C-alpha cells in the first residue's frame, strides 16, 4: 500500500509541519502551569490577555474589522470564543472532580466526534484511514494513562464525567467551527477573536478567584504567563488555525494526540520527570498514528480513490 502520486502532489507538507509545531508548543502549557501558583481561571485569563495583546499589536488592522462584517462571520467568531471558554473551564472542572487520566481520555475523545460529524457538517468524504489512525492514537493515549487508570484509586463523580464529556464535545465543536470559519476570514482574525473573547469571558471568574484566594502575582509567575500567552497561545493558535484551513480537520485532530506526548517531553526537560515505559510505548503509538494519516490520508479537498478512478461521462 503506497500513497498515489496524485495524493503526494496535492499534500501540503508545510501545513502538516505547522500542525505538529502548534501541538508541540501547546503541549508545554500543562507543564508551565506547575511553575505558577495562580488559580486555574487566573492563569487562563492572563495567558489569553497576553496573547490578545500580542496578536492585536501585529494583526489589528482594517482588514480584521472587515472580516467581522463578512456574512455570517460575526456570529461564528463569537461562537468560537464562547465554545473555547466553556470547553477549557469544563476540562478544568473534570480534572478537579475526577482525575487527570479520566479528564484527558474524555477530552481526547474529540477526534472521534470530529470523525463522525465532519462528513455531515463539512460535507467531506469519509476516510477509512483516519479511523484506523484514530484507533491507534486512542490506544496510545490509553497506554500513557494506564498507570493512573490501573492504580485503583481514581476519584470519579457524575459531575466530573459530565464535565469531561462536555469538554470533549466542546473541543470537537470548536475544531469544526474553526474549520468552517477559515473559509470566511483570515486565521489571524480567528485567533485574535478567540483569545480576546476568552479573556473577557473568564475575567469575572478570575477576579472572583483572586479575591477568594488572595493570590499575589510574583515575578516568576509573570514571566511564565507571558511565555504561555505569547508562545504557547498567540503563536501556536495562529499557526494551528492556518494549518486547519489547509489540512483535513480529521487529520488535524488525530495529530492532536501529539500534545500529551509533548507534555511528557517538557516534563523531562523542565521538571526532570523521566518518562515511564508506558509513556514511551504510548507515545510511539501516537506518533505512528500521525505518520499514518500524513502518509496515507487524502489531502484536503481530494476525492476518494474510487471516485477519482471513475471515468468521466461521455
Select from 66, 165, 88, 172 the least CA-distant residue to 122.
172
| CA-angle at 134, arms to 128 and 135, nearest 5° | 95
- Report residue 201 CA to chain centroid gap: 19
Look at residue 53 in the predicted model and tell me its pLDDT: 94
> How far is 276 from 172, CA to CA, in rounded Å?
30
> How far is 243 from 14, CA to CA, in rounded Å?
8
CB 81 within 8 A of CB 194: yes
User: Who's near 190: CB < 8 A, 6+ residues apart?
Assistant: 77, 80, 178, 181, 182, 241
Q: DSSP character for 157?
A: -
Select from 288, 301, 286, 297 the least CA-distant residue to 256.
286
Q: Give long-range contacts, CB 8 A cutoff, 24+ apart: 86-89.
A: 86/166, 86/170, 87/166, 87/167, 87/170, 87/171, 87/173, 87/174, 88/44, 88/167, 88/198, 88/202, 89/41, 89/44, 89/202, 89/205
How do the pLDDT tens digits run along the chain, 314 residues long? 444 433 433 567 888 899 999 999 988 887 787 678 888 888 889 999 999 999 999 888 888 888 999 988 999 999 999 999 899 888 878 877 776 667 777 887 888 888 878 777 777 777 777 778 888 888 888 887 787 777 766 667 788 888 888 998 999 999 999 999 998 899 999 999 999 999 999 999 999 999 998 888 888 899 999 999 999 999 999 999 999 988 888 888 888 888 878 877 877 777 677 777 888 888 888 888 878 777 776 666 554 433 333 333 33
Look at residue 308 in the predicted model and tell me its pLDDT: 39
Helix (H) or strand (E) holding 85: helix 73-97
Look at residue 136 in the predicted model and tell me its pLDDT: 84
> How far is 5 from 21, CA to CA, in rounded Å?
26
pTM here? 0.78
**Structure confidence by residue, pLDDT tens digits, 139-189:** 888 887 787 777 766 667 788 888 888 998 999 999 999 999 998 899 999
Look at residue 200 in the predicted model and tell me its pLDDT: 94
> How far is 230 from 53, CA to CA, in rounded Å?
9
- Report residue 34 CA to chain centroid gap: 20
Select from 44, 16, 70, 11 the least CA-distant residue to 239.
16
Amino acid at each position: 500500500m503506497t500513497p498515489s502520486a496524485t495524493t503526494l502532489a496535492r499534500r501540503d507538507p508545510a501545513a502538516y509541519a505547522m500542525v505538529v509545531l502548534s501541538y508541540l508548543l501547546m503541549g508545554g502549557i500543562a507543564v508551565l502551569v506547575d511553575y505558577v501558583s495562580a488559580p486555574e481561571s487566573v492563569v487562563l485569563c492572563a495567558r489569553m490577555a497576553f496573547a490578545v495583546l500580542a496578536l492585536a499589536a501585529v494583526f489589528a488592522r482594517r482588514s480584521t474589522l472587515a472580516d467581522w462584517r463578512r456574512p455570517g462571520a460575526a456570529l461564528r467568531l463569537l461562537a468560537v470564543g464562547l465554545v473555547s471558554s466553556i470547553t477549557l473551564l469544563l476540562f478544568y472542572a473534570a480534572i478537579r472532580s475526577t482525575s487527570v487520566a479520566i479528564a484527558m481520555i474524555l477530552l481526547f475523545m474529540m477526534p472521534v466526534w470530529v470523525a463522525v460529524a465532519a462528513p455531515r457538517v463539512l460535507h467531506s468524504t469519509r476516510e477509512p484511514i483516519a479511523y484506523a489512525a484514530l484507533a491507534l492514537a486512542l490506544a496510545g493515549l490509553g497506554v500513557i494513562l494506564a498507570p493512573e487508570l490501573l492504580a485503583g484509586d481514581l476519584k470519579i463523580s457524575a459531575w466530573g464525567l459530565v464535565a469531561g464529556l462536555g469538554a470533549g464535545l466542546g473541543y470537537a465543536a470548536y475544531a469544526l467551527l474553526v474549520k468552517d470559519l477559515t473559509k470566511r476570514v483570515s486565521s489571524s482574525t480567528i485567533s485574535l477573536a478567540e483569545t480576546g473573547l476568552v479573556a473577557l469571558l473568564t475575567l469575572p471568574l478570575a477576579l472572583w478567584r483572586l479575591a477568594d484566594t488572595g493570590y499575589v502575582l510574583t515575578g516568576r509567575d509573570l514571566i511564565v504567563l507571558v511565555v504561555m500567552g505569547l508562545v504557547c497561545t498567540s503563536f501556536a493558535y495562529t499557526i494551528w488555525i492556518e494549518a486547519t484551513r489547509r489540512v483535513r480537520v480529521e487529520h488535524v485532530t488525530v495529530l492532536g494526540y501529539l500534545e500529551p506526548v509533548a507534555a511528557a517531553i517538557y516534563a523531562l526537560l523542565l521538571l526532570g520527570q523521566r518518562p515511564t515505559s508506558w509513556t514511551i510505548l504510548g507515545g510511539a503509538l501516537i506518533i505512528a498514528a500521525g505518520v499514518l494519516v500524513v502518509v496515507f490520508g487524502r489531502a484536503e479537498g481530494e476525492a476518494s480513490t474510487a471516485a477519482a478512478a471513475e471515468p468521466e461521462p461521455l
